[in-house]
Structure formats: C-alpha cells, structure tokens
Structure 1
Amino acid sequence: MRIAVLDDDPLQLELIDQVVRQAGHLCRLHHSGASFVQDLRRESFDLLLVDWEVPDLSGPEVVRWAREHLPATLPIVFITHRSEERDLVEGLNCGADDFIVKPIRVAELQARIAALLRRAYPQAQEDVLEFGPYRFTQSTFTAEFHDQSVVLTHREFALAVLLFQNQGRLMSRDHLREAVWGQNSEVLSRTLDTHVSRLRQVLRLRPGQEYAISAVYGLGYRLDALGCTTPTDLDLAS
C-alpha cells in the first residue's frame, strides 16, 4: 500500500517512515500542508497520516480538503499531541477515521494502519479475486477470463490486480510504478504504458467490453466497469 505522511518534525517523519516501510508499505513524506495538498492533487495514495499543527495549512484544513476532493473510502489518521476529548471530536468530525496521540508508539501505529487498510481494502487480503468474467489467484499468479487461462507475467498480473482492486479510482503513474516495480525502481514511463497496452489486449480491457482501462493525460490510469454485454471473441492468444 502507498501511504502519504504530513508532519513538520523531521524526527517524527523519520520514525513514521521507518514504521511504514517495515510494515511493507510505500511511503511519501511531506513537511508542509501546502506541499501535501499539491501532491494529493496529482498522486494517489491508500492512506493518509496527518499531523494536526503544520505550516501553511492546519491538519484539519488538509483533512477537510481531502474529504471534498478524494475518494470517500480513503483512510485518514490524525497524529497529534492533542489528547483532550474536544480535539478528538473535532478531528473525527472534520473527516479523520482514527486518532493517534504523540509520542508515537510503534506497535500501536502499525496495528492501527493495518486495521484501517484491512477495513478499506478487504479484497487485498483475499487469495482468489473475481470481477465479472475475470478471476485472479494471487498465490499462483494465475488469471482467467471467462474460465479460460490468460498468460501474464508477474508484473502484468500485479498491475492487473491493482487496477481491478481500485476500479473507478484514478491511479497515478508513480503509484502504479512503485507498487509493481518497487519504490526505488527507475522503470521508464513507457514501460508502464507497454504493460497497460498488453493488459488491454489480452484481457479485453477496452471500450465495448465489461471493463476498460482509460488514460488520464499527465496523471495516470483508471479501470472502469462498463457493464457491457459479454464479448463473443474469446481468443485470448491474439
């Protein structure tokens, strides 16, 4: 999963970064509310960790912006020194899903992140995923379309599963590259485009079918369920 963090304390950012990465997630760090919102406008994330008091924009202002412009299911957690009941109420009322009081306890932060991600993305925990005529078995990296096997590389499989699990949601190019090729990968943009083009072909992910991948210029890709009739041409080798 890809997690964005907002905190103006370098030591806190370093600690959170370590905790998030040790849990196996990708992490993007921000020092100010303005830079955080700017990144949220062009990138996609699976969870947000937001400090209450930061430069430019307050934590509550950032959370309210996120609730107005980002998917309603996106989990948001406040991390703050504030611990009184009125602060908890204000934080939850402005759109946060959870509240962690500093100093951060590593085990608690890991547990709360894991719980929120399980709740927001239940399919990520399942081995066999089914979407209309598509079936993906994650333990064996096997894909089927209308009960016919489809040969995919491991990266093609990972990209397909990621798009299906987030159907209807715009996924940024960096998000897709980091999730499939790794955060430190220097994979070229055209490599991602080539993989998407291959998925469109072998899985029939294009207009006129049940699902289609669309490109959003300069931002990324989105998989949408179109609800069209079942295609008659099932020659997956073409």
Structure 2
Amino acid sequence: MRIALLEDEIEQAQHIQGILSERGYQCDSFQTGHTFLSAVLHRTYDLIILDWQIPDMTGIDVLETVRAQMNWPIPAIFLTQRDSEADIVRALDAGADDYLAKPARAAELVARIHALARRIHPENEKECLDFGPFRVNIHQRSIHLHGEPLTLTDKDFDLTLCLFQNQGRLLTREMLLQRVWGLTRDINTRTVDTHMSRLRRRLGLNPENGFRIKTIYQRGYRLEAIDAGNADTSSEDTLAHA
C-alpha cells in the first residue's frame, strides 16, 4: 500500500513514516498542502493521512480539494492535535473516513488503516470477483469471459486484477511498474504500454463486454465501465501518444 502523508513537523513525519515502513507500507511525506496536492492528484496513492494545521492551507481545504478533483474516493485519515467533537464532525463532513488524535500510536494507526482498507475494498477478501461478463478467480489465478477461460501470462493476470480492483481510478505507469513488476526505481520503459495494448485485445475490452482501458495522456491508464449504446472509443488505444 502506498500512502501520502501531510505533516509539516519533520520529527512527527519521520515517526509516522517509521511506523508505516516497519509494516511494509510505502509512505511519502509532504510539508505543505500545495506539494501534497501536486503529488496526490498526479500520482497514485492508496490512502492519505492529513494533519489539520499546516503552513499554507488547512487540512480541511486540502481534503475538500482532493474530493472535488479526484475521480475515486481515496481513503483519508486525519491525524491531528485537534480533537474536539466539533473538529471531528467538520473533518468527517469534509470527506474524512477516520480521525485520530496525536501523538500517533503505532498499533492503533496500523489497525485503523487495515480496517479502512477492508471497508473500502471488501472485494479483496473474496476468492472470486465478478465484473460484468468477467470472472476473476484470485486463488486459481484464472479469468473467464462469458464462462470461457482466457489464456493469460502471470503478468497479464496481475495487471488485469489490478485494473479491475481499481476500476475508475487513474493508475500511473510508476504505480503499475511497482505493483505488477516489483520495480521501485523510476525507469523509462514502454513495458506497461506494451502490456496494456496487448491486454485490450486478449481480454476483449470493448463496448460489447462493457469495459475499456482509457489512456490518460502522459499519466497512465484507467479502466472504465461503458454503456454499449453510448461508447466513445476514441481514447482507448493511444499507445503512440502515451
């Protein structure tokens, strides 16, 4: 899981990053609202943790901007010294999913993150997932379309599962390289583009089957459910411009 942390106190940020890294999470820390927003709105994160009082804007302002501009409900936790009932209500009304008071207690913070991940993505607990005519068996690592098995490589399966579990969400090339190929360095490669173009054909991602992979220019990809009667396929396979 990749987490973005908004915390202007360096020691506090390092403490939280240490807690999360020990549990296997990748945590990027930002000291201002503007740098945080620039990262969250253009990269791929699974969860955000917000402080309330930061130098250039409030955590509430940051969260409201995230909710207005992102096309999927990224889980958000407030971690702040402000712990009055009025503050908690205000944060939740602004779109926060959870609220913790500082100082961060390691076990509680990790437990809240786990609980939130299960609540936001309950399908991760299932063995078989259905997406329209597609059935994905996680344990058997198989995918069927209209009841017929598809022939896919291991990487094709991992990439397909990642797309379906994040339907409607922008997935950057950086995030896909990390999740599917295990690459953490910033590598200039066409690997993702090549696999994505091939996957469109192998999965039959077209209006008849109800899904398409949309290329987001210079950023990444998004799997979208489409209405066969109102399908716009003009931006599906734009590999040459990706």
Superposed pair shares fold, TM > 0.5: yes
1:74 maps to which residue? 74
2:27 maps to which residue? 27
The answer as to whether partners of 1:26 and 1:183 remain within 8 angstroms in 2 is no
CA offset at residue 210 of structure 1?
2.1
Identity of counterpart residues, as a percentage?
39
Structure of greater relative contact order (alpha carbons < 8 Å, 6+ residues apart): 1
Q: Mean Cα displacement is larger for which, 208-217 or 108-117?
A: 208-217
The answer as to whether partners of 1:181 and 1:187 remain within 8 angstroms in 2 is no
1:203 partner letter: L
1:217 partner letter: Y
Is 1:65 aligned to 2:100, yes or no?
A: no
CA distance in 1, matches of 2:129, 2:36: 33
Cα 1:26–1:124, aligned 2, differ >3 Å: closer, same or farther?
farther
Is 1:113 aligned to 2:117, yes or no?
A: no
Instruction: Write the mapping of 1:71-220 to structure 2, written as runs, cut at 5 A.
Output: 71=71, 73-182=73-182, 184-207=184-207, 209-220=209-220
SS of corresponding position for 2:213 = strand
Cα 1:18–1:156, aligned 2, differ >3 Å: closer, same or farther?
farther
SS of corresponding position for 1:42 = coil
CA distance in 1, matches of 2:179, 2:29: 17
Q: Mean Cα displacement is larger for which, 118-127 or 64-73?
A: 64-73
The answer as to whether partners of 2:177 and 2:184 remain within 8 angstroms in 1 is no
CA distance in 2, matches of 1:100, 1:15: 15
2:42 maps to which residue? 42
CA distance in 2, matches of 1:208, 1:14: 50
Pairs aligned (count): 229
Cα 1:206–1:188, aligned 2, differ >3 Å: closer, same or farther?
farther
CA offset at residue 72 of structure 1?
5.6
Q: Mean Cα displacement is larger for which, 197-206 or 70-79?
A: 70-79
SS of corresponding position for 2:200 = helix
2:40 partner letter: L
Moved over 6 A (4+): none
The answer as to whether partners of 2:133 and 2:209 remain within 8 angstroms in 1 is no
Q: For structure 2, which runs of at least 5 residues remain unmatched after alignment?
A: 230-242
CA offset at residue 208 of structure 1?
5.1
The answer as to whether partners of 1:209 and 1:227 remain within 8 angstroms in 2 is no
Deviation digits for residues 68-123 of structure 1 (CA, Å, limit 9, x no counterpart): 11246321111111222222222222221211111110010011111111111111
CA offset at residue 204 of structure 1?
1.0
2:129 partner letter: L
Cα 1:136–1:209, aligned 2, differ >3 Å: closer, same or farther?
closer
The answer as to whether partners of 1:128 and 1:136 remain within 8 angstroms in 2 is yes
Cα 1:149–1:26, aligned 2, differ >3 Å: closer, same or farther?
farther
Q: For structure 1, which runs of at least 5 residues remain unmatched after alignment?
A: 230-238
1:163 partner letter: L
Cα 1:181–1:124, aligned 2, differ >3 Å: closer, same or farther?
same
1:38 partner letter: S
Q: TM (normalized to structure 1)?
A: 0.87
CA offset at residue 185 of structure 1?
4.3
